A = this chain, B = another copy of it.
Amino acid sequence: MTQRPLILISNDDGITAPGIRALVEAVKHLGEVVVVAPDSPQSAMGHAVTISKPLRLEKTKIYGDIHSYQCSGTPADCVKIAVDKVLHRKPDLLLSGINHGSNSSINILYSGTMSAAMEGAIEGIPAAGFSLCDFAYEADFTLAAKIAASVAKNILSSGLPPGVLLNVNIPKVSEDIFMGVKVCRQAHAKWEEDFDERNDPNGKKYYWLTGKFVNYDKGNDTDEWALANGYCSIVPVQYDLTAHNAIGFINQWNITHEN
């Protein structure tokens, strides 16, 4: 490679979050880093894109010599506008995170961090999202940053299969008891919702979304198992959602518009 690799970095906690700074610092020696990230927190935005209002995009100086831009949109918007308006060539790598909090299992669907990575993969850019299982603003990203750098190095040298991106979650453990990395499948787990019902000062009801995360999966090959046992989980993820095994089943149906 004659040029240094071009590495696009985004996240969903916003451009000023400590997690994205840790990621930038961890990989800046691997290539030319450009940051395009939301100007405000965008957690739980899923794969939302902004079509009903325009976007703002502003150059910032918060990463010194590293080019960085804040965008008023969602994480997926950030990747789209970076590819179309900011970068002069297709990036060699897209990294998203490091998220403050886990995005394991079903949380990948709700995660803005992973939607940025997925948007990269859709654009044909090798991509990975990183999440540390610690929601605290002052979380310790040391271990997560080292793993992110190692994953980034591996992707740059080996590439990723077409249509595949990585969901990397790092447990909240100290390095001396860290068990290493496990390549996993997505656990069968979900949130048990419990809306917190309250009354506003006018006596009208409103609801806060709360819930409990429940893992129904007894397998020891899942991301939840890995994280619960002190491992970093890496789930290779695809954006082709076709349930190929179910095609034969549906084909047996008689679906008609003639009653």
| A residues at B contact (CB < 8 Å) | 41, 43-52, 54-57, 73, 76-77, 80-81, 83-85, 106, 108-110, 115, 118, 122-123, 143, 146-147, 149-151, 154, 158, 160-161, 163-164, 166, 175, 178, 180-181, 183-186, 188, 190, 193-195, 197-198, 204-209, 232, 234-247, 249-259
Chain B residues, Cβ within 8 Å of A180: 256
Q: Complex Cα distance A241/B104, Å?
A: 11
The main secondary structure of chain A at its interface with chain B is: mixed
Contact of A257 among B57, B163, B178, B237 (CB under 8 A): B178
Q: Complex Cα distance A164/B241, Å?
A: 10
Q: Is the CB of A257 within 8 A of B207?
A: no
Q: Complex Cα distance A134/B46, Å?
A: 25
Contact of A46 among B76, B245, B256 (CB under 8 A): B76
Q: Is the CB of A246 within 8 A of B85?
A: no
Residue among A204, A246, A255, A259 with most chain B CB within 10 A: A255
